[in-house]
Amino acid sequence: MINSSLQQQLRERFNPEGSMLRRQQLRMLDILLYVDKVCKEHNIRYWLSSGTLLGAVRHGGFIPWDDDLDIEMLREDYEKFLKVFPENKDFALQTRHNDKYYLLPFAKIRDTHSELSEYGNNSNYKFRGIFIDVFCLESSPRFAYVGFGVILHGILKLQKHGNGRLTKAMIATTKWLYYGLMAIMKPLLQLFPMKNLNHLYGCGPRWKSRDIDNIFPLSTKDFEGYEFPAPRDSDAYLRCMFGGYDKLPNLERLRVHVANCKFL
């Protein structure tokens, strides 16, 4: 694992205190703390996932260059969360149902006191602040998860064409057709129950299926000085997602999501 000296070098290089990225990370932490409070009040299970969980295990917090934060829930908890989440002046729930040009099948919790420019173009969104992703896992056939993901990511490329009336019309139309098709297909696909878990249809083909036995009962992990829920076997969970996650990637070829951020 990475020693404390290297950890400090990475922090100084990528997210020193006061930097724009560090300010963004701390705002995401504020959102997570609020979500954690809501989930505890309503007995909703969730856990740190993907790069956020990797950061907790390998760095004790954010991966120094990471500009997003991910959590996951099971379907029943996800549906409950969407119903009980209390919007306020600081945080907004964003889904495809309340934001006309938001195409993704999972929710985001947005900070209302900032604005991001994301790679892929989010300029048509109703909510554009710093966010955390709330992913939903359910028992589903992997071929459907992958197939719908490929289709949706093709549709998402429409967002790159800007704010013209034709682009907006194409986005709205393809969104209606896509989720209409999903509504028809999903009951049929549920005839093929699977033990392992996948993201909602449309999240993309990137991640492997998860073993529910690696998730429950939930444990906790320290993340930026706070304890948050984590999979029971975080090592197995991360190796399923990333392979040898204890080694650093090529630091000259890092993938980022945000092109620009400003605080309002």
Residue 123 and residue 102: Cα distance in Å, rounded?
A: 10
pLDDT digits (tens, 9 = 90+) for 192-232: 767 778 776 656 556 678 889 999 999 999 999 999 999 99
Residue type at 69? L
pLDDT > 90 fraction of the chain, expressed in percent and rounded: 52
pLDDT digits (tens, 9 = 90+) for 223-263: 999 999 999 999 999 998 888 888 888 888 887 777 688 99
Buried b or exposed e, range 124-145, using 16+ CB within 10 angstroms: bbebbbbbbbbbbbbbbbeebb
Residue 192 and residue 190: Cα distance in Å, rounded?
A: 5
Q: Which of 221, 243, 262, 244 is nearest to 117 (CA)?
A: 262
Q: Which of 64, 71, 57 is nearest to 234 (CA)?
A: 57
